[in-house]
Amino acid sequence: MLPEQLFASTIVASWKQVIGRLTEPVAALTEEHLQRQIAPNKNRVIYIVGHLIAVNDRLFPLLGIGERLYPALDEVYLTNPDRKLPDPLSLADLKKAWSDVHERLTAAFDAFTPSQWLERHTAVSEEDFAKEPLRNRLAVVQSRTNHVSFHGGQLVLVK
């Protein structure tokens, strides 16, 4: 493997590991569990799961790899705080949304060539990207991987 292929593969492995750690816990969620708060007066589990789906779903347009699958989640789990709006998805549909978004993202990441990883994301202009080449797809996925870990650390507080 070329160095840049090793870099790309290692990064995809990190994403898969972080998402993978949540796959079973999300699949095992119950209605009761979803409504628990991670700590007193903090977000419910369902808000965090919905928030991760919404934020990661936004990667499709941001990385230029397709249309969003669940744009309606933003209002409930991203632009508004927890408990402001009713939860729009059933337990089964929430789990399906988790799988849909992450399976499709992972397939896209597996297919990126090293040079495609280093292309700009769509929120940076060509002009800015010429000056700041680190504003690439890789940086976005690194950031989102850390974001999943961040909330993963909260979800483990609720057993």
Residues forming beta bridges with residue 120, ordered by sequence position: 136
The least distance separating a second copy from the CB of residue 125, rounded to whole angstroms, comes to: 18
> Does 81 engage in binding with a second copy (CB under 8 A)?
no
149 lies in the binding site for a second copy (CB under 8 A): yes
For residue 40, state whether it binds a second copy (rule: CB under 8 A).
Answer: yes
User: Whose Cβ is closer to a second copy: residue 40's or residue 86's?
Assistant: 40
**Cross-strand pairs, 44:** 37
The residue within the footprint of a second copy, chosen from 16, 18, 59, 107 (CB under 8 A), is: 18
Can you give the C-alpha Rg of the chain in angstroms?
17
Where helices occur in the chain by DSSP H, the ranges are 3-27, 31-35, 45-57, 59-63, 73-77, 91-111, 114-117, 126-131, 137-155
Our finding on whether 134 is near a second copy (CB under 8 A) is yes
Which range, of 54-62, 102-110, 123-131, 149-157, touches a second copy by CB under 8 A?
149-157
Q: Which of 20, 66, 71, 153 binds a second copy (CB under 8 A)?
A: 153
Kindly state the smallest distance separating residue 3's Cβ from a second copy, in Å: 4
Residue indicated by tokens 């969003």: 68
Tell whether the torsion through CA atoms of 25, 6, 150 and 108 is positive or negative. Answer: negative
Secondary structure of residue 44 in the 3-state scheme: strand
Dig out the tokens for 10 from the structure.
């290692």
Give the residue, chosen from 27, 75, 90, 150, that forms a contact with a second copy under the rule CB under 8 A. 150
Rounded Cα–Cα distance for residues 38 and 159 (Å): 9
DSSP state of 87: -
Given candidates 67, 115, 126, 131, which one binds a second copy under the rule CB under 8 A? 115
Residues lying near a second copy in the complex (CB under 8 A)? 1, 3-4, 6-11, 13-14, 17-18, 38-40, 42, 114-115, 117-118, 133-134, 136, 138-139, 142-143, 145-147, 149-154, 157
